[in-house]
């Protein structure tokens, strides 16, 4: 992994978090225990700060950044899908941000909300708790049911398990 201090800002990575060797973590970034940070992820707290709660997966090729002096917060047991961009926003506990989605400055994604694949959540938009948003720009299309929560909890458990297993079992072969 590439972990860098910048301007006296040093990442704080909890024990038990897995950071891919191909991920980059810069500056004022806090990553909680049990997190999975996939290959190609870029998490930059160079002039803003970023906090990622425990057991959260930031999958391959995600970009997370924050405005100067601002804080980007990603809650506990959040799933950020492949290639998503989170910029200067707040993502509530249990939320899911789909593959290729963009969540822009000062937007808020509520607790257990789901942002669909390819969705764009514009600046200052609020997605309420337990709502499903899709489209460009994001529009609320439904509620998150208990069945959907169970399904996503299973997916989240897979990444938590990978965060435990990868340090022991991932072997470079060429």
Domain boundaries, the chain: 2-169
Report whether 108 contacts 128 (CB < 8 A): no
The answer on pLDDT for 1 being more than 80 is: no
Give the mean model confidence (pLDDT) for residues 134-151.
Answer: 98
pLDDT band for position 141 (cuts 50, 70, 90): very high
DSSP letters spanning 82-110: TT-EEES-EE-TT-EE-TT-EE-TT-EE-
| Averaged pLDDT of the chain | 97
Just give the CATH number of 2-169: 2.160.10.10
CB atoms within 10 A of CB 142: 12
Pairing of strands 63-65, 79-80: unpaired
DSSP letters spanning 128-150: -TTEEEETTTTEEEEE--HHHHH
> pLDDT at position 100, please?
98
Q: Please, which residues have CB within 8 angstroms of residue 32's CB and are 6 or more apart in sequence?
A: 14, 17, 52, 53, 54, 55, 56, 76
> pLDDT at position 93, please?
98
Q: Which residue has the higher pLDDT, 36 or 1?
A: 36
Alpha carbon dihedral 32, 163, 157, 26, in 10-degree steps, equals: 40
Q: Is the pTM of this model over 0.85?
A: yes
Give the mean model confidence (pLDDT) for residues 76-85.
Answer: 98
pLDDT band for position 86 (cuts 50, 70, 90): very high
Q: How far is CA 165 from the centre of its chain?
A: 20
Give the mean model confidence (pLDDT) for residues 143-151.
Answer: 97
> pLDDT at position 171, please?
93
> pLDDT at position 156, please?
95
Give the mean model confidence (pLDDT) for residues 129-147.
Answer: 98
């Amino acid at each position: 992994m590439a972990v860098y201090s910048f301007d006296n800002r040093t990442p704080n990575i909890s024990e038990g978090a897995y950071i891919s060797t191909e991920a980059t973590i810069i500056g004022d970034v806090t990553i909680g225990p049990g997190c999975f940070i996939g290959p190609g992820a870029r998490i930059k707290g160079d002039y803003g700060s970023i906090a990622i709660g425990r057991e959260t997966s930031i999958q391959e090729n995600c970009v997370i950044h924050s405005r100067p002096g601002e804080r980007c917060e990603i809650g506990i047991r959040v799933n950020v899908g492949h290639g998503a961009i989170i910029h200067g926003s707040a993502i509530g506990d249990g939320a899911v941000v789909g593959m290729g989605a963009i969540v822009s400055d000062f937007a808020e994604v509520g607790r257990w909300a789901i942002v669909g694949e390819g969705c764009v959540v514009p600046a200052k938009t609020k997605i309420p708790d337990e709502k499903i948003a899709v489209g460009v720009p994001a529009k609320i299309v439904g509620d998150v049911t208990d069945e959907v929560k169970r399904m996503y909890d299973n997916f989240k458990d897979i990444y938590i398990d990978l965060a435990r297993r990868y340090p022991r079992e991932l072997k470079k072969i060429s």
